[in-house]
Amino acid sequence: MSQLVFELSGEHDTLPRSEVIACIEASGWNYQIKYSYDQVLVVETDADPGILARRLALTHNILELIFIAPSDPDMILKEAETGELGLKYGQSFVVRVSRVKNYGGISASFERKLGAAIWHRGYPVSLDNPDVIFRAIVTEGVCIFGRRLAEVDRPGFEERAPLKKPFFLPGVLMPRISRAVVNLTRIREGWMLDPFSGTGGTLVEAGLISPGIHVVGCDIQKKMVYGTRKNLRHYQTTYDVIWQDSLRMGIRDDSVDAMVTDFPYGQSTPIAAESAGAFYTGALREMFRVLKPGCRAVVVSKEPMEKLLTDAGFTVIETHRQRIHKSLTRNFAVITKS
């Protein structure tokens, strides 16, 4: 078991932490949360950091913890001068300091001083091609110092931005959020359904996690079905896309291993129901029917849906909120079919 430090993104207050735990649990690794700070999570685990980095979206780096010190510059330098750093003779290094928000009294010159403290111990510095990258993260009165083991390919998500996909419509989830909510289902392999697939953004992210995940999309609009197929074909995922009313899906009972969907908001999206209430009730009834018992789904909606979800038979495990602008707040509910 190692103590891994997850340097979380500041895109959301709660989703990054939940995503880390979900990805560890998805592979069945053991873990214990040791410390949780603003944008930093320290976990004792037997998880493989390389595998986690290829799956995570809302994390920047995964480090091996070396020490935690008060955020006083002198105390940090003392730890760097005397502590066990795990460097071998002749290994080169570089130090990068990151300050979360406005925590700590760390100046711009501190990175250089911290590097000098290690250099004085006889280890060479390499700014361009170091053998070891150390990161010092200052947050909530502490400095967390670690050796970088893996880096999340966040630019890769930017390359899959909605405007860069073959088929695009505005107002969809961004790829990093799509990947995070897929991860919250803890799917590792099997069938993942999006009953309101739209442009297929969540399906793309699910399919890129593993070739063992077969994604299935449904939509009542023919143009969405064609657009989703185009996007999934472009990213070479294993998929099926069905043109059908998601209130009456041609999918067997208890056959889906995970679900993620961003519910239509109704302004420009047709819904095949007499009212919004009937639409949500019918959709959730179908989602409950096709999901395997014990498996998880994530529902994204404009309004909180906990009451509707529990009335449909689901158990709500956790919820998150994301304010997009003054007229739109996204609500994320992680649910299971007990």
Q: What is the number of other CB atoms lying within 10 angstroms of the CB of residue 170?
A: 8
Provide Rg for the chain, Cα atoms: 23
Q: What are phi and psi of 148, to 5 degrees?
A: -70, 125
**By the 8 A CB rule, do 167 and 233 touch?**
no
Helix/strand/coil for 39 = coil
Segments in 152-298 forming alpha helices (H): 154-158, 175-184, 201-209, 222-234, 276-290
Render each residue's pLDDT in the chain as its tens digit; 338 residues. Answer: 999 999 999 999 999 999 999 999 999 999 999 999 999 999 999 999 999 999 999 999 999 999 999 999 999 999 999 999 999 999 999 999 999 999 988 888 999 999 999 999 999 999 999 999 999 999 999 999 999 999 999 999 999 999 999 998 888 899 999 999 999 999 999 999 999 999 999 999 999 999 999 999 999 999 999 999 999 999 999 999 999 999 999 999 999 999 999 998 654 455 555 677 889 999 999 999 999 999 999 999 999 999 999 999 999 999 999 988 877 889 999 999 98
Q: What are phi and psi of 100, to 5 degrees?
A: -75, 120
β 142-151/132-139 pair status: antiparallel
Segments in 27-173 forming alpha helices (H): 49-55, 73-82, 110-119, 154-158
Q: How many CA atoms lie within 13 A of 198 on its CB side?
A: 22
Q: Which two tokens stand for residue 226?
A: 């064609």
pLDDT digits (tens, 9 = 90+) for 52-97: 999 999 999 999 999 999 999 999 999 999 999 999 999 999 999 9
β 213-219/190-194 pair status: parallel
Helix/strand/coil for 76 = helix
200: region left, alpha or beta (phi > 0 left; psi from -120 to 50 alpha): left
**By the 8 A CB rule, do 260 and 194 touch?**
yes
Report the C-alpha gap between 286 and 247 in whole angstroms. 6
Domains and CATH numbers, the chain: 2-151 (3.30.2130.30), 157-336 (3.40.50.150)
DSSP label at residue 125 = B
